[in-house]
A and B are shown apart, each in its own frame.
Chain A
Amino acid sequence: MRTPLTLRLFAGMPRSAQVALALFALAAWGWVPFAHLALAPEHALHLSAYWVSLLGKILCYMVLAVALDLIWGYAGILSLGHGLFFALGGYAFGMYLMRGIGRDGSYQSDLPDFMVFLDWKELPWYWAGSDSFLWALFLAMALPGAVAFVFGWFAFRSRIKGVYFSIITQALTYAAMLLFFRNETGFGGNNGFTDFKRILGYPITAPETRVALFALSAALLVAALVLGRYLVTSRFGRVLAAIRDAESRVMFIGYNPLHYKLFVWTLSAVLCGLAGALYVPQVGIINPSEMSPANSIEIAIWVAVGGRGTLVGAVVGAGLVNLAKSWFTVSFPEYWPFVLGFLFVAVTLFLPDGVVGLVRRLTRRVAGDAASRGEGGTFGASAGSPAHPAAAPPGPARALAGAAPATAAGAVADADASTGEGAIGAERPIAPAARALPGAYAAQSLETRDERANGPAVTSPAIATKGVQP
């Protein structure tokens, strides 16, 4: 009866997901370390430091995308400020990395270089404990979590929704960016943190360290996916999707949407923080530009490209867009913003469920009905997963175009304004109508069911005497 949760989660996954997960584990924890560490640089299959870092970075982005998908795809809350939580996690962990430099900085001081430069004599109080790895890790989760919680509490309590919410998140990350740009804030101003030397005593540029960070990022992604899948297939996930679709109905059947939104919102921010903490040592720098509004919009584009409300879509989208980006920024850097904008327009117009939706539709067409009957499984496992795109709130509206720099952002705004209701409203796969009813219900014969239907009240007279729940 009681199988361990993790086993249940994996067993509940579709076959293809299990295979994909196994392949991913093999690649991330087997092939990458081997190709980077064991194969000589001259070897054709050798994986260079550039690639390991790039892939590690993309893994962190994938976690970020999954975090955004949890709230956008499933709860219908579009955050355009998730870059803030990512950056906060990065800064929290960056403090530890800065302290790890020790006296190896240019000024050979115990203080980070930028503080010496500012003529500060001692660490500000909020740097206390930053030499501890565990404290830094805790901060990387707690800081974004706390900011998200406080912000979310006010926003959700005031029932701020849709475009308004998205705009406020943009403002939030923008304000934070301005704050972090100031030297007096104590986080290195516009240079941020860089020139890290070591992590937990290991040299940060050593191949082994690089591979370890990569493997950890992969582990974080798997954990985020497993957690996400658990959430969206649980009753909690169904409540979330219900809030997305008909919030007032949810209230009148006794759920408090505030608590649900706040929980998933805060959790999402914590995930972002962890991703940021792993990102910084791999790219070797964190500065306030991570908090730029355009950055956060890009995250939403990854998710839209991959397909909202599927979790795996977020991963695919983040991967595709970022691989394309790293190619473009090397070959044609000035065109990247246009490509990004075009991508978003194309996806919203022609691929409302993103790449994953397209693939699903194609495979369904190929496999016919047989396939759709095979997946899905039991009662209750389905609702959360393919979220209806139409139900998600409108994306960044035209109003954002002013606030968001770069052409890409402008294109985002245009794309969404033109989408409106229709273009997003794609059909959703129809569940096979007559699946067997599980459990005791299935066991009942038709006759007994009819008897009950015509008989006296099924609900006992003593119902609901307990009144308000304890």
Chain B
Amino acid sequence: MIQPAPDRDARVGEPPGHRDRPSGHVVVPGALDLTHNVILYLEDISVSFDGFRALNRLSLAIDAGELRAIIGPNGAGKTTMMDVITGKTRPDEGKAFFGQTLDLTRLTEPQIAHAGIGRKFQKPTVFEHHTVFENLELALKADKRVRRTLFARLADDERDRIAAVLARVRLAAEADRLAGLLSHGQKQWLEIAMLLVQEPRLLLLDEPVAGMTDEETERTAELFVSLAGTHSLVVVEHDMSFVAALGGKVTVLHEGAVLAEGDLATVQADERVIEVYLGR
């Protein structure tokens, strides 16, 4: 049922592995191909809403294991970009690839989730009428088709994984509470925890520290830094001290396109960036 669409550039008729590359690289359908060490590749993506260009020929490449911060004024198109990557919004034009082979513009939301992209929404979205534990149970990496879910029971190692993640985001004591009763910051963490148990390769985090205390923000930065390397992360944030704490490369979006890219200091010194931020 949930199968990726055949990738666009798989060459029909050729034996697997035969590509114009000496490496003898094997193409496994549906698997993430990180040959060029690029996990996410967007090229000339455009999205219009009723004539308004939310994304305007946006191009972006994220390396495997990278921790990338995306900043930009309100309405710059940051959330829309995540919508495109996760299949919620189809781009009018442009390419979006996960690894070398998975064409994101042809997959549905659940397929993209299975392929290994996890997303945290700008507005924290957890299942408020389920307990914290159940939220994680639902997010847990598993066979998510109906006929499996009907008979699914948590294995001990799955409980352990949930417990470990709960401890990591300091929600262990809240495991049996309804998620709707958590504080705003805790909900953010729960959503991050849901991402973690999903075991994605690429995490998209839309304003993850909004509504968190300074201490919580700090711990979140630590968490993300510790995830980088084994995971790739794209973090959208307005909080500059948080972005500084992440320490990775920064991309500035403006009017649906990349305005500047580099480490935080370089970007902050860029005149166009200053103009965009001060001009508002």
**Given the complex, which residues of A lie within 8 Å of B121, measured CB to CB?**
249
CB pair B129–A428 under 8 Å, yes or no, is yes
A241 near B129: Cβ-Cβ < 8 Å: yes
Task: Identify the closest chain A residue to B204 (Cβ).
Answer: A252
CB distance A450 to B119 under 8 Å? no
In this complex, what residue of B is CB-closest to A255?
B144
Closest 7 CB pairs of A and B: A441-B163, A254-B113, A251-B109, A468-B30, A467-B31, A463-B199, A458-B164
Asked whether, in the complex, the Cβ of A388 is within 8 Å of the Cβ of B129, the reply is: yes
Q: Is B141 an interface residue (CB 8 A)?
A: yes
Q: Is B196 an interface residue (CB 8 A)?
A: yes
For chain B, give the interface size range. Answer: 35 or more
Complex CA gap A214/B152 in Å reads: 35
**Does B160 sit at the interface, judged by CB under 8 A?**
yes
Among A249, A380, A440, A460, point to the contact of B160 (Cβ < 8 A): A440
Chain A residues within an 8 Å CB radius of B20: none
Chain B positions within 8 Å of A38 at CB level: none
B213 within 8 A of partner (CB): no
Chain B CB within 8 A of A367 CB? no
Contacting residues, chain A, for B160 (C-beta < 8 A):
440-441
B208 close to chain A: CB less than 8 A? no
| Chain B residues positioned under 8 Å from A238 (CB to CB) | 130, 134, 137-138
Can you name the residue of chain B whose Cβ is closest to the Cβ of A252? B119
B131 contacts A431, C-beta separation under 8 Å: yes
Query: Which size class do A's interface residues fall under?
Result: 35 or more
Q: Contacting A468 at CB < 8 Å: which of B88, B114, B119?
A: B114
Q: Within B119-166, which residues are at the interface with A (CB < 8 Å)?
A: 119, 121, 125-131, 133-134, 137-139, 141, 143-146, 149-154, 156, 159-165
Does B72 lie at the interface of the complex (its beta carbon under 8 Å from any beta carbon of A)? no
Q: Are B127 and A430 in contact (CB under 8 A)?
A: no
Interface residue from B127, B129, B149 paired with A249 (Cβ < 8 Å): B127
- Chain A residues near B111 (CB-CB < 8 A): 468
B-contacting 9-mer, from A79-87, A256-264, A272-280: A256-264
CA distance A260 to B1 in the complex (A): 13
Is A465 engaged at the interface, CB distance under 8 Å to the other chain? yes
Are A464's CB and B130's CB within 8 A?
A: no
Assembly CA distance A453 to B166 (angstroms) = 9
B73 within 8 A of A: no
Which residues of chain B have C-beta atoms less than 8 A from A383's C-beta? 129-131, 134
Closest-CB distance, A329 to chain B (whole angstroms): 39
Which residues from chain A contact B240 at a C-beta distance below 8 Å?
none
CB distance from B75 to the nearest CB of A (A): 21
A253 touching B133 in the complex, CB below 8 Å, given contacts A246-B127, A248-B125, A457-B227? no
Which residues of chain B are within 8 angstroms of A453 by Cβ–Cβ distance?
167-168, 170
What chain A residues lie within 8 Å of B145 (beta carbons)?
256, 259
Note all chain B residues with C-beta closer than 8 A to A249.
121, 125-127
> When A245-B128, A253-B113, A253-B139 are in contact, do A235 and B119 touch as well, CB less than 8 Å?
no
Assess the B199–A256 pair: CB atoms within 8 A.
no
A selection of 12 A-B contacts at a CB cut-off of 8 Å is: A235-B152, A236-B152, A249-B126, A254-B114, A383-B131, A387-B129, A434-B173, A439-B156, A457-B227, A461-B230, A467-B31, A468-B30
Given A433-B177, A437-B175, A466-B31, check contact A457 B226 (CB 8 Å): yes
Contact of B159 among A430, A440, A469 (CB under 8 A): A440
| Docked CA distance A335–B217 (Å) | 63
A402 at the interface (CB under 8 A from B): no
**How close is B92's CB to chain A, nearest CB, in angstroms?**
20
Determine if A43 is an interface residue (Cβ-Cβ < 8 Å): no
Contact yes or no, B127 A259, CB < 8 A: no
B116 within 8 A of A: yes
- Smallest Cβ-Cβ distance to A260: which chain B residue: B146
Is B76 interfacial (CB 8 A cutoff)? no
Q: Is A215 interfacial (CB 8 A cutoff)?
A: no
Which B residues are in CB contact (< 8 Å) with A450? 167
A467 touches B154 (CB 8 A): no
Residues of chain B with a CB closer than 8 A to A254's CB: 110, 113-114, 144, 198
Task: Determine the distance from Cα of A457 to Cα of B223 in the docked complex, in whole angstroms.
Answer: 9
